[in-house]
Amino acid sequence: MTGTAEPEPPPPPGTAESGPLKGRWVTVRPAVEADVPRLAEIRATPEVYARWRGDDDLAAEIRGSMAELGAAYLAIEWDGRVIGAIQWAAEEDPEYSHASMDVFLDPTVHGRGLGEDAVRTLCAHLVDDHGFHRLVIDPAADNAAAIRCYTKVGFRPVGIMRQYERDPHGWHDGLLMDLLAAELVR
């Protein structure tokens, strides 16, 4: 023995931990410090802020999410620029194993299929590289554009979560949606 440790094997190809994930139009990669100002700018737009809200210091909140989620907090790039973020978390209990996700996108690029591409890219990664059999997402029940996007990827409505989330105007409902691995629209 030479006294040197064996190197860690590289992550599987095509995982966010080994490098960017390529969608049809977007690239999804772990967010880095240099992305924070742009992501905070997007989060501060009225359309995104209405859904995501946040602290007074959105940059600090994004840094906190990056620290908490690590490689599961991902920047979405299109045409050489950051246009949003997508994140995921795993339920580790083997009896309930699944992954949840959430996404926000710059309103200036809405309606081009880029959100759908980012969601599909992350779903394929979670199914193919992480082996999840079930994924969930929970848009506001009145967020028709998000619901259409997720439906195109294969998510199905499971049910309304009544008074699920509170904003400055009061409680509102959420829609729980799930996708089984075999239902992913590739």
Report whether pLDDT(22) > 50. Answer: yes
Please write the tens of the pLDDT for every residue from 25-80.
999 999 999 999 999 999 999 999 999 998 889 999 999 999 999 999 999 999 99
Helix segments in 84-168, DSSP class H? 114-128, 144-153
CATH number at residue 37: 3.40.630.30
In a domain, 118, yes or no: yes
Answer yes or no: are the C-beta atoms of 40 and 32 closer than 8 Å: no
Terminal CA-to-CA distance of the chain, rounded, Å? Answer: 48
In a domain, 11, yes or no: no
In a domain, 13, yes or no: no
In a domain, 45, yes or no: yes
For 131, the 3-state DSSP assignment is: coil
In a domain, 130, yes or no: yes
In a domain, 16, yes or no: no
Please write the tens of the pLDDT for every residue from 88-112.
999 989 999 999 999 999 999 999 9
Cα distances from 31 to residues 39, 86, 99, 159, in angstroms, run 9, 9, 19, 32
For 7, the 3-state DSSP assignment is: coil
In a domain, 119, yes or no: yes
**Greater confidence, 135 or 5?**
135
Range of the domain at 164: 21-183
In a domain, 98, yes or no: yes
The whole-model pTM stands at 0.89
Q: How many domains does the chain have?
A: 1
